[in-house]
Amino acid sequence: MTNSDNQRDEQRDEQRDEQRDEQRQADDTTAPRWVEITRTFDAPAGLIWEMWSDPEQFSSWYGPVGADVSAEEFDVRVGGRRFVGMKMDTPKGPMEMWFTGEFRTIVENEHLVYTESLADADGNAKTAAEIGMPEGHPTETTVNVELTEGHGRTTMVMQHVGVPAGSPGAMGWEMAIDKLEVHVAAAR
């Protein structure tokens, strides 16, 4: 076997190993399918909770950079309604989005769960097709926020089930949580 044959065999083996690794990653059911963001803040859980549960605080950080957010209805109790508007300029012109849902789990300073559906400006839930979203987007999604405090710091795990990891919605969440970090630091 010549030197070039050995190199060709090594390249083929490397390519096969890369393909196996890619397939393993694609088959990995432990990887989050949905948006999941974990952040640790140098702040007590009560402050992070306030950022999620107070309509004025929530509106100050929620949404991507440049979004103007309004919490039209924010009844933070189990079964309470939430109705949030978001306006922003995009390369395609002004855009307005509305979200409605219901608070499902409330454990102050620890756990918050709410549903979210796309809506019209009157707060009526709409299907993805009615709003012009891609086919396959669920009509209702669920946001789950867990807070764990220790040694003056709080770890937040936020999961948005129904919004795929790597999607534009996921990028919006990353921007929003970056804004949340700034607001928490300013509130300390």
The predicted pLDDT at position 137 comes to: 78
Residue 105 phi/psi, 5-degree rounding, is: -135, 130
- Residue whose token pair is 């957010």: 69
Q: Which two tokens stand for residue 153?
A: 């710091």
Q: Residues in the chain, how many?
A: 188
pLDDT value at residue 127: 87
For the chain, 188 residues long, the average pLDDT of each consecutive 10-residue run is: 59 51 47 89 98 98 93 98 96 93 98 96 90 79 97 96 91 96 95
Whole-number Å distance between alpha carbons of 128 and 139? 6
Is the CB of residue 77 less than 8 Å from the CB of residue 102?
no
